[in-house]
Amino acid sequence: MVSLEEIIHSYNSGAPLAEASTIPSTWYTDEGLYQLEMQTVFARSWQMVCRVDQVSQPGQYVTGEIAGEPILVVRGDDDRLRGFFNVCRHHAAEIMTEPEGIVKQLRCPYHAWTYSLSGELKGTPDFAGVCDFNRSANSLVPLDIGVWEQWVFVRVEGSGTLASFLGTDLVNQTRQLGLAGLHWMERRHYSFDCNWKVFVDNYLDGGYHVPHLHKGLDSVLDYHKYMIENGEHFCLQWSPVVSEGAEAQTGAVRRGDRALYYWIYPNYMINWYAGSMDTNLVIPRGVDKTEVIFDFYFQDVSAGARERNLASIEVGQRIQDEDVDICKSVQRGLRSRSYNAGRLSVRREAGEHLFHQLLHSDLKAGIEG
Ligand code: FES
Ligand SMILES: [Fe+2]
């Protein structure tokens, strides 16, 4: 039996890109490593929970789950946004059970304990005579929260602000894109039969697979000018968009002069085109099951633009469908005794290299306690 320590130390994170290999295949298949990722990579990173417009009014809330733990974001009567574990202090039931809504107070469905929108315990029916019960010590347990552009992020544990994690470089770059002018239209869920990192690797391969798997997308991107730029905790991949020779369906909805693909460690992506954007939230659902939530945004979300926007979403859908089979195929290959790790293209795969190094750093910190 190989220990978790050995699995983690078998990756050499110090090798420069030209000498580097991918993380070993056991990282994609080992149950113990998956659990460690939940407790380190996911519990200690900023996770996108919802859009700001979903919690713009006092009492509006959104529920979610991070690393298997129920969480909740709610706007208070004082207009402040707060994050909490969505876990009742009485016997641990989830307090809010809808995906989102608007309420005056937070009421647990089990025995009707109530909490204010700022998390203080207010009502405890039939609790007279309980000794040494400190009400104020039974408030909801808070989470770190931060807002960036249109999104609310929370973090289960760790230190530092969201802004310092994102870094001024990323914040300044996205500020210039005018993301506030893009409006959410639709959400779609995709399911992949692979480890979550297979999906992220596929995203971060610098367009390497695009000419081979995505003929439509390839027809609008200038493959030879595709650029990869690593930040501290993010990677920007971008490509000029060309109209000449574009495949009709893709060309009709992918315009402008460039496409920008931002990946933010560990599991959030922002894909920007002139007049539209989609975001991908990658959620591990098991060692070889991954859910990816796509949110589609457009500059014009009027009824008149609906058909065109749906055509754009369809192009996105087709690209995902094209990736589903290859991700499943990679996951099968990773389970083969014949494969351990592979080398990286210097021209294309710097983003994957960064991803693997950041993972290694978090996992190493995790086993060292
Ligand atoms: S578990 Fe919430 S009131 Fe009992
Ligand atoms: Fe792809």
Structure confidence by residue, pLDDT tens digits, 314-357:
998 899 999 999 999 999 999 999 999 999 999 999 999 999 99
Ligand 1 pocket residue status of 293, Cβ below 6 Å: no
CA of 113 to the centre of ligand 1 (A): 6
Q: Using one digit for the tens of pLDDT, what is the confidence trace for 183-197?
A: 999 999 999 999 999
Q: Per-residue pLDDT for 273 more than 90?
A: yes
Determine the Cα–Cα distance for residues 242 and 222; give it in Å rounded to an integer.
7
Cβ(192)–Cβ(292) below 8 Å: yes
CB 72 within 8 A of CB 108: no
Q: Given ligand 1 and candidates 90, 106, 122, 135, which is best to mutate, with the most ligand atoms within 8 Å of its CB?
A: 90
Ligand 1: which residue has its CA nearest to atom 1? Answer: 91
pLDDT reading at 83 higher than 80:
yes
Interatomic CA distance for residues 260 and 285, integer angstroms: 28
The ligand 1 atom nearest the CA atom of 91: 1
Cα–Cα dist 65/94, whole Å: 11
- Is the per-residue pLDDT at 203 higher than 90? yes
Q: 279 pLDDT exceeds 80?
A: yes
Amino acid at 48: M
**pLDDT the model gives residue 313:** 95
223 or 99: which leads in pLDDT: 99
Query: How remote is the CA of residue 199 from the centroid of ligand 2, in Å?
Result: 9
228 CB less than 6 Å from ligand 1? no
What is the DSSP code string of 89-152?
TTT---S--SSEEE-SSEE-TTT--EE-TT--EEE-TT-TT-TT--GGGGSPPEEEEEEETTEE
- Check residue 243 and give its pLDDT: 83
Instruction: Give the model's pLDDT for residue 309.
Output: 96
Nearest CA to ligand 1 atom 4: 111
Range 270-278, long-range pairs (CB < 8 A, 24+ positions):
270/174, 272/177, 272/179, 273/241, 274/241, 275/182, 275/299, 275/300, 276/182, 276/309, 276/312, 277/179, 277/182, 278/316
Q: Which two tokens stand for residue 211?
A: 């000419």
Q: What is the pLDDT of residue 331?
A: 98
List, for residues 3-16, the tens digit of each pLDDT value: 999 999 999 999 99
Question: Best mutation site among 96, 108, 141 for ligand 1, i.e. most ligand atoms within 8 A of its Cβ?
Answer: 108
Give 217-259 pLDDT, tens digit per residue: 899 889 899 999 999 999 999 999 988 888 888 887 877 889 9
pLDDT tens digits, 27-48: 999 999 999 999 999 999 999 9
Give yes or no for residue 285 CB within 6 A of ligand 1.
no
- Residue-wise pLDDT tens digits, 127-177: 999 999 999 999 999 999 999 999 999 999 999 999 999 999 999 999 999
For residue 369, pLDDT over 90 is answered with no
Q: What is the pLDDT of residue 116?
A: 98
Answer whether 203 contacts ligand 1 (Cβ < 6 A).
no
Q: For ligand 1, say whether the CB of 110 is within 6 Å of any of its atoms.
A: yes
Q: Which tokens belong to 162? A: 């969201």
Is the predicted pLDDT of residue 216 greater than 80, yes or no? yes
Query: How far is the centre of ligand 1, averaged over its atoms, from the C-alpha of 232 (Å)?
Result: 42
Using omega within 30 degrees of 0 as the cis cutoff, is the peptide bond preceding 284 cis?
A: no
Does residue 225 line the site of ligand 1, with CB under 6 A? no
CA distances from 3 to 7, 10, 27, 365 (A): 6, 11, 12, 16
In the structure, what pLDDT confidence band is assigned to residue 291 with cuts at 50, 70 and 90? very high
Please state, as a whole number, how many other Cβ atoms lie within 10 Å of the Cβ of residue 228.
Answer: 22
Residue 88 Cβ < 6 Å to ligand 1: yes
Q: In whole angstroms, what is the distance from residue 252 CA to residue 205 CA?
A: 25
